[in-house]
Structure 1
Amino acid sequence: MTETQESARGQRMEVDPKLLEILVCPVTKTTLRYDREKQELISEKARLAFPIRDGIPIMLVDEARSLDDA
């Protein structure tokens, strides 16, 4: 089964660890924490959670969830 098929069946795709090492928050330029359970990249300083969809981090502020709303 391919990764695309797994994603279509609702299973989580893993993010490339090398990609996680180089990504930073687009607002603060600080490092991000990977939340595997929620499939998000967390910027503690900006108080934002960026979604990961089909294994691709969506690093747009308009798509991010505010951690202050939680």
Structure 2
Amino acid sequence: MENFNHVLLFKTNISCDADKALVCAMLGDRPGVEKWSVDTEDEDCVLRIVSYTLRHQEIIELINYHGYECRELI
């Protein structure tokens, strides 16, 4: 069975292309982020990050610092 501990999921208010562009600026070249996506069609605007080194709290602090709501999706 595969281990998905490196996939971080968050509930956010990142809901449009302009928001996604700002997130791209935050995460696009951030060390530790292998891949990321935001599902703006989902009611929770799910942010999915693949990282082998970053933890949920680091991402939450980064996204919140830039004015967006972000919390771990459980």
TM bracket (short chain): 0.3 to 0.5
> Quick check: which has more Rg, 1 or 2?
1
More contact order relative to length (CA 8 Å, sep ≥ 6)? 2
TM-score normalised by length of structure 2: 0.34
